[in-house]
């Protein structure tokens, strides 16, 4: 069985975005969405999962239970990316998806700490967040344009008591700064 922890997926995803992203793609929402989705697919494929975008998900990473037998799979990763600060719909959608790891990538303004906003939205979802037992969450957030040069992306998960936990990041990722250095 192929499974990711939130920490593993975050590190691999972050590194894949570093590899396939560029300053030019970062400047255009449509292009950046392609980078985000491509990076998620790359992480899933590198682990041996098949990928698709069925179920209205940006990416689904799934594992066939029996090779060659269609329609007999387990959803390991459900991935949603929202290029604006309006990621709330994707959070609600992911609450209704049965997957081992549900990943939400979004953006925030510095004026409102993302931990506050995320905690507020998690509380609004209530027991929908926990309706799938033994499921992990990964929340990845980057700053919007107003603070893009100063603030790195952050990753969060939920602990067993559904408290928000910031993931340790040994290689903080700030795409605006890193991609500017490549030019």
Pairing of the two strands 59-64 and 73-81 = antiparallel
Does the pLDDT of residue 163 top 70, yes or no? yes
Report helix, strand and coil shares of the chain as percent, to nearest 5: 40, 25, 40
- CB-count exposure of residue 62 (10 Å: 0-12, 13-18, 19+): buried
pLDDT of residue 37: 96
Do strands 154-158 and 164-166 pair parallel, antiparallel, or not at all (unpaired)? Answer: antiparallel
Residue 169 and residue 154 in contact, taking contact as beta carbons nearer than 8 Å: yes
The string of pLDDT tens digits covering residues 30-89 is 899 999 999 999 999 999 999 988 778 999 999 999 888 888 899 999 999 998 778 999
Dihedral through CA 47, CA 44, CA 39, CA 94, nearest 10? -150
| For range 91-95, the mean pLDDT | 95
Q: Per residue in 10-29, pLDDT tens?
A: 999 999 999 999 888 888 88
- Say how many C-beta atoms besides its own lie within 10 A of residue 91's C-beta: 22
**What pLDDT is stored for residue 135 in this prediction?**
92
Give the start-to-end residue ranges of the domains of the chain.
Answer: 6-182
- Residue 83 burial (10 A CB sphere; 0-12, 13-18, 19+): middle
pTM: 0.93
């Amino acid at each position: 069985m192929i499974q990711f922890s939130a920490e593993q997926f975050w590190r691999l995803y972050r590194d894949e975005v570093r590899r396939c992203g560029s300053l030019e793609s970062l400047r255009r929402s449509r292009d950046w969405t392609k980078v985000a989705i491509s990076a998620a697919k790359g992480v899933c494929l590198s682990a041996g999962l098949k990928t698709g975008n069925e179920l209205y998900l940006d990416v689904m990473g799934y594992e066939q239970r029996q090779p060659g037998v269609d329609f007999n799979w387990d959803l390991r990763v459900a991935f949603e990316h929202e290029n604006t600060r309006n990621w709330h719909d994707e959070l609600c959608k992911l609450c209704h998806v049965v997957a081992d790891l549900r990943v939400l990538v979004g953006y925030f303004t510095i004026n409102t700490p993302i931990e506050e906003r995320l905690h507020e939205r998690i509380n609004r979802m209530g027991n929908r967040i926990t309706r799938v037992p033994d499921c992990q969450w990964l929340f990845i957030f980057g700053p919007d344009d107003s603070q893009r040069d100063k603030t790195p992306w952050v990753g969060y998960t939920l602990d067993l008591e559904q408290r928000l936990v910031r993931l340790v990041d040994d290689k903080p990722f700030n795409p605006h700064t890193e991609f500017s250095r490549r030019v």
